[in-house]
Amino acid sequence: MFGTIVSWQQTDKTVSIQFQHASASLLFLHDSLFRVFAPLKRDVFFSRAIDRLPETRLQCLNVQSVGKYIEIITASLIVRVKDDLQIDVYTSEGDLLCADYNEQRLPFVRRGNSELAKEEGHAVIEEARQYRTTIIKQMNGDEAFYGLGERPGHLNKRGCFYRNWNTDDPHPHVESYETLYKSIPFFITLTDKKAFGIFFDNTYETFFDFGKENDNYYYFAANDGNLDYYFMYGPQVADVIGHYTSLTGTTPLPQKWTLGYQQCRWSYPSAERVKEIATQFRSRNIPCDVIYLDIDYMDGYRVFTWNRETFPDPQGLITELAAQGFKVVTIIDPGVKKDRGYDVYEQGLANGYYATDADGVTYVNRVWPGDSVYPDFTSATVRSWWGDQHQSLLELGVAGIWTDMNEPASFNGPLPDDVQFRNDGYPTDHREAHNVYGSMMARATYDGIKKWTGKRPFVITRACYAGTQKYSTIWTGDNQSFWEHLRMSIPMLSNLGLSGMAFVGTDVGGFSFDCTGELLSRWVQVGCFTPLFRNHSAANTRDQEPWTFDERTEHINRKYIQLRYRILPYIYDQLWRSEKTGLPLIRPLMLHYQEDQLTHNLNDQFLCGDAVMVAPIVQQGQTVRQVYLPQGTWFDYWSKQVHSGGAYILQHAELDECPIYVKAGSLLPNNPPQQFIGDGDGQHLIIEYFPDYSGATSSYEHLQDDGETFAYQNGQYHLWQFSATCNDSEIRLELTKQSPDANWAETTSIGYKKIEWRIYDTSTTRVTVNGVVAEFQQSAHALVVLIDVP
């Protein structure tokens, strides 16, 4: 496509290359991060994932011609550009990281009568898929591949093929699915214990083959658009995620209530049923913060309306629920009912806010309301208008918005390729707009909520593109009440986290099919540790609220939902750090233990932050499982038994027990018991300490703020710093508090009055606080010291 190199020049941080048939450039943003760009579609920087390129942080950039290639040297990388835009990347020490494949593609031989197989309905793989643009990379042999967002199957995507084309498919998702609801064209390669990432910023239908076609190479490709990708080197996986989120953004700290337990169903059909659900939670002592209203709360599925027969007094309902500690989240779909006299439809039509066909006529398809039109969210004007539509809901007290059906979904066949979109000044068709439609809807919703409330918006979206983490949490769509979908959720959530999506979750218990008490019990044990903790079920399935099975299931749900509220300060802190680092809450073990090959394919364990490891039971009937403990010393969370890492153990776990382990040296902040976020005076914090007797000092920073506004970004918070040092003769614990905004600190009522230390695996006869002998309690597992905070 490009031909031989004709000339090149360096301008500041950019190396521009003229080839025989086309031009390309490499922009270096960091010693370990550069962009490869060829203007095959348009000669401008235009991205739906990157709002602006990060500031360049480059120590050095040396460029020279060496024989037939151009060599570019930074402090971390050696990049060689050859004819046909072939690019090889080495470490600064000269070790090959990533090289373009320069031999002919040779798909694996597939034998048999494919036409006959098709007749019976079998899926048949094409021998060699052809694309407009294809970048083929050489496979060195030991590569493991991660990321690419929401994908079924296992953690390591080696040997898999995927398409990025947001797809609403309610059928049971299985490992062979090439598409789902989200398109995040970013992946991480782990090879020779070093990690690098590639982000292919192209919103058209894109393709990723990780050695499925032939294990000598892997590739990424597109049917249209620019050649525009970023290469980022670690060598640690965390460094790669840091580079990626420096481009696409990090997840902002959510409101604290959004981390509580959430209950949803398609649908709670009336205000009376919603009140009944709320009463059950409180009377049964099961914590809950959120109740969702699915599509049936609307008048004929018209967005931004209420069914006044079944929800006659929305504000009264929301106020009554608020008095019990509940927030209400309502669903909003993009399809606007084609209905003369319906204000939202009329406004959009009068202003030309809807996508059109090739002749400029408003495009119509069918979704829940019947014939519907699609707002053109690729236009900033339309996004602003759509955001303002939420004012009426927000003024009633609606706390968050759930955006669904935004792939966009349609019932009368998919949207044609030639449906037109404004695209913020770069008019385009559906082929380019499809994968970002959900992201732009989420952005419009986020901006609207922020404008009308001033609080951190809670938006949950089903469809998205790279960078959506800046605006929305996501869930993994219409899963099923199958054990396989519980198993699949762990690598799926882990890969979403590696792809920049820090605030994620699944429908706990499964959306479709009928859940069982055992499955819900095991699923809630996973959901307890996921950022979004929502139980959701479909119409015509059995009730799935925690008390609708049997007493044992209700007890187990209560136990783990209460555990969630206990550890919520830790989860909140991790998401606060995520805003700064890009690291997710849910992490595969390879993120922190990439030099340990036993973690590279570990599908059924995960880390919650960096201190807690969860090894849930995900097989029906199982009560014993093998657990891998990586290097270090680990505490069994329940028994406080201490294990040495770098080994497998056999863990017994009855139905009410999820194997959980805490790394020695960890300090975990806990809440006292709560029924909802804000229940109680908020002046008592519990710190669990799991001693590390090596003599090393452990430290932890805990954020305390108002939990809902952006004031923390202006220094209005307390930063509590806890540290611990222990050896065989003494444990020394310290705490300090910093408050960047001194005026706020003097006037706010936010603050802890009591700190309760719980120290495990230790016993003593004497405790002093600031040199003064203090009271303490000693149990079989813990030493408890309660101190007053001046």
Catalytically active residues are: 404, 407, 478
Phi first, then psi: what are they for 626, rounded to 5°?
Answer: -85, 135
Find out whether the peptide bond into 588 is cis, omega within 30 degrees of 0: no
Nearest alpha-carbon partner for 63 in 79, 76, 85, 84 = 79
- The C-alpha atoms of residue 193 and residue 144 are separated, in whole angstroms, by 10
Both tokens assigned to 787: 């101190």
Task: Identify residue 472 by its one-letter amino acid code.
Answer: S
Cα(277)–Cα(263) distance, rounded to whole angstroms? 9
Cα–Cα nearest to 189, from 197, 181, 199? 197
Q: Decide the pairing of beta strands 464-465 and 182-183.
A: parallel
CA distance 665 to 474: 33
Q: Are 262 and 533 in contact (CB under 8 A)?
A: yes
Alpha-carbon span 294 to 218, nearest angstrom: 42
Q: Residues 426, 427, 430, CA angle at the centre, nearest 5°?
A: 120
Amino acid at position 756, single letter? E
Q: Coil, strand or helix: which one is 334?
A: coil
**Burial annotation 13-50 (CB, 10 A radius, 16+ → b, else e):** bebebebeebbbbbbbbbbbbbbbbbebbeeeebbbbb
Question: Is the separation of the CB atoms in 56 and 29 below 8 Å?
Answer: yes
3-state SS, 238-273, equals: HHHHHHHHHHHCCCCCCCHHHHCEEECCCCCCCHHH
* C-alpha span between 301 and 294 (Å, rounded): 10
C-alpha–C-alpha distance, residues 580 and 242, integer Å: 9
Task: Answer whether the bond into residue 235 is a cis peptide, omega within 30°.
Answer: yes
Question: How far is 422 from 376, CA to CA, in rounded Å?
Answer: 7
Cα separation of 781 and 640, whole Å?
A: 7
Half-sphere exposure of 710 (CA within 13 A, CB side): 10
Instruction: Report the phi/psi class of residue 736: left, alpha or beta, with left for phi > 0 and alpha for psi in -120 to 50.
Output: beta
Roughly how many angstroms between the first and final C-alpha of the chain, as a whole number? 71
CA 177 → CA 83, 119, 209, 270, 467, distances in Å? 36, 20, 13, 36, 23
